[in-house]
Structure 1
């Protein structure tokens, strides 16, 4: 069975829902766009460059790491859709070099915070008032198990930003729940994406080793993955699709870990 067959969608449970997915042209974000569109949602997405193919009804080429980019995305989404029902903050990642804390300049720290925390904060601030007006909505922030298991060699700044995102998401849920808006977060472990493979190449280059050694080093630093593999982007998308649907109408203020069993504690 192919991965496409395994996650074939048959349903229209999100028909009529207006959705924004950030970082929706590659990796988990791209899979989320396809999954929600297949369920009937009208999807807008944004990234710094367009993907090869997308079922989204609106694509906004913008850098949501900046205040100006976030404002451009929010304005285009509201102008096209007239409102928003679901926001999925999938944009994220890390370009930090190997070498531990000493290799992280002020600019690297700011870049990691802008991408992994402040992009979501700014877009929420611009879009949530529309949800409050209509008295309904669902928001999912894509965090990371790195907030529990930071890799000191390469992900200190990324992990700190994702930890802040999880805390922000929880705080937001307390404020918005009484207003009819559900807020949850998803914390993936290692996902098999082009971005994760790029990190492998950076670590290999820094250490002067090969990619397989770097890949195994990441696995060892994580303590292993009991199911024996990273997650597929489509598996992340399935969890997100559930959380934004009416099937999860009582799930609020929670964080769901999807890591193949990597985190070794309850």
Structure 2
């Protein structure tokens, strides 16, 4: 007669395969599974490290380890400011144009970024600090574009007034949607005939190009204009880098 104690470690049929949560896994199989899992978890660590836990240069590192090294090698992760900007930031007063353009010290104020992260950091900081100057540069570029095409001003004003009249006088009912569609088509025709849409697109593209080029080339440690006294009207250039001062 077979001993019933021998069936304790024998796998019993179940609905799942052999894994720790399966009801068909016996005690001995579970111990073997735990031992294999422990060896598999320890194998990558022993493969990357030497005899005393030192990193092995010949063993390849995974992407997660690369991220860990990048966060532990002393580099500070840049926290960008522009994602938190709102439309109210466009109302900021512009700073001194000599400081914004840095025409007095071009060699110390502009340089080609070393990498993409450097360009992103410059663009983020410059846009956040000088958003008022960039907004006014957009107005200047728009005026220059409209100077070469004065009829675009007439088209833009007429289109704005037409849309305002439709919003005030045409209700959001099914009977009035036809009139609103006709007014929209008429506004598009006026914008195209007077080339106002082309002037607006050109202004946006030129402003974006200026912002991208200036924001990426202007260094964050460029000299800043510092006023001496409040009512003297005398100013000087601060040549010391802000990064060196913060240390």
Query: Which bracket does the TM-score occupy, shorter chain normalised?
Result: under 0.3
Higher strand share: 1
Higher helix share: 2
**Greater Rg, structure 1 or structure 2?**
2
